[in-house]
Copies of this chain bind each other. A is one copy, B any other.
Amino acid sequence: MTTAPNATAASLLGFLHDGPQSGWELTAAVTEQLGGFWSISRSQVHRELGRLAELGLVEAGESGRRDSRPYTLTSSGRQAFADWIGRGPEEATVRLPLLLFVSLGRHLDPEVLASILAEQRKHQAALVREYTAARRQLADAQLDQFRLATIDYGLATARLTLRWLDDVQKQLGTAD
């Protein structure tokens, strides 16, 4: 009984539950729906699809328009996915460049630091607007409550980061 070898492969199997899709389509779907908290790259997607095909968890169809090759979930693929998701999420390895940057902030000129933080603030604000729009749009079309929940997480995180940036800026201002 094969199991999905890693989280990336598993996510592909998950998305293939919605019907046959090509590597390109899968990449687009994952990026659009999970982009905020689950990044993948095209090259990785294709490599995993190739392997999944070898393992028989997925079946490559005839190449359609423009080299697009649709993959279909097999029954053992379905089983492998069930195995994987039943084991629960693995531990996260987090890398947030923004946090690394701030934690080394004492080595940077306060003026420059302030202007960079302001820029980051803008970025987070844009993110909040983006998530808010997505939320509104998806609340209408009633959909998967799980997907709604993940959007809520993204929104909450963006808001948190925004508030945190404000706090940091404020504290820096009063520091002198």
Residues of A in contact with B (beta carbons under 8 Å apart): 7, 11, 14, 17, 33-34, 36-39, 81-82, 85-86, 88-108, 112, 116, 119-120, 144-147, 149-150, 152-153, 156-157, 160-161, 164, 167-168, 171-172, 175
Contact = CB atoms under 8 A, between A and B. Distances in A.
A117 to B, nearest CB: 9
B96 A37 contact: yes
Given A37-B94, A157-B157, 20 more contacts: A7-B95, A7-B100, A33-B103, A34-B103, A36-B94, A37-B96, A38-B103, A85-B107, A86-B108, A88-B120, A89-B98, A89-B116, A89-B120, A92-B96, A92-B98, A99-B150, A103-B149, A103-B150, A106-B146, A145-B171
